[in-house]
Amino acid sequence: MNAATRPFGRGDAQRIADAFRPAMPLGNRFDYYYSLGKLRSDPLYPGVLAALRGCDAPLLDLGCGLGLLAHALRLDGQRVAYAGVDVDAGKIARAARAAARAGLDAVRFDVVDVEQGLPAHAGSVALLDVLQYLTREQRRQLLADAIDRLAPGARLVIRTGLDDDSGRGRATRLADRVAHWLGWMVSTPKSYPTRAGLEARFRLAGLTAHFTPLHGDTPFNNWLVVATR
């Protein structure tokens, strides 16, 4: 595995997760342990950091959750302006609190339902583990909206499970359903894109796209897709 497909080491993961510790000693530690576990086990952010390195366009992170990508960017020395949006108002409030606590600059968070349209933006766009919460039609519209917001030289960075018949595909679908049943994900998983479908969409929009497996040691069918004009 190269560095971009390995999860964060203990020190870096701990540094980021510390911003999610509860303010009170007996406060809820769920976000802290979730962040630590995610950063230590999933190569998502190292893969995305490698995809964004060298690009100074502002970044719009759609379905940003707790905003871990903002922390990862700053840890990596990437200073691009960051805007994270998510439909889950609770997560956005906690993301904003943790970013303020870590002293991240040029970072903002807003509650936005991406099914209802995207905020104005010209730069790079990240869509990390979000596409499965949309129907095929909503995904088509969201990708079109995201592509419209790509500035010249900027990058569209997607991590997604792909729809195929593999054991990894089945594990991904099961884990997404469990996350919803447990209440961690307010949205229900609806459908998964196929590689051929995404490739056709990018071709039509005049984008060049690269697909790389990004599941590390997890059992999931996760891919990193980086598209540019």
Enumerate binding residues for ligand SAM (CB under 6 A). Answer: 44, 63-65, 68, 86-88, 91, 112-115, 128-130, 133, 185-187
Among residues 225, 121, 132, the alpha carbon closest in space to that of 173 is found at: 132
In the bound state with ligand SAM, the residue whose beta carbon lies nearer, of 81 and 175, is 175
Report which DSSP code applies to 205: T
Shortest approach of ligand SAM to residue 154 CB, angstroms? 18
Give least dist CB 80 to ligand SAM, A.
16
Indicate the residue among 124 and 153 with the shorter CB distance to ligand SAM: 124
CB-side neighbour CA atoms (13 Å) of 80: 27
Rounded distance, CA 101 to CA 84, Å? Answer: 16
Report the nearest approach of ligand SAM to the CB of residue 67 (Å): 8
In the bound complex, what is the minimum distance in angstroms from residue 164's beta carbon to ligand SAM? 19
CB of 90 closer than 8 Å to CB of 185: no
Q: Residue 26 or 102: which CB sits closer to ligand SAM?
A: 102
Rounded Cα gap, residues 132 and 101, in angstroms: 31
CB of 26 to ligand SAM, least distance (A): 26
19/68 with CB nearer ligand SAM: 68
Q: Which is nearer to ligand SAM, 31 or 207 (CB)?
A: 31
**Residue 90, class by beta-carbon neighbours within 10 Å (0-12 exposed, 13-18 middle, 19+ buried)?**
exposed
- Rounded to the nearest whole angstrom, what is the least distance from the CB of residue 69 to ligand SAM in the complex? 7
Nearer to ligand SAM, 25 or 183 (CB): 183
Task: Classify the phi-psi angles of 126: left when phi > 0, otherwise alpha if psi is within -120 to 50, otherwise beta.
Answer: beta
What are all long-range contacts of 33-38, with beta carbons under 8 Å and residues at least 24 apart? 34/66, 34/184, 35/66, 35/68, 38/68
Q: CA-to-CA distance for 105 and 57, rounded, in angstroms?
A: 15
Residue 223 pairs in a beta bridge with 160, 213
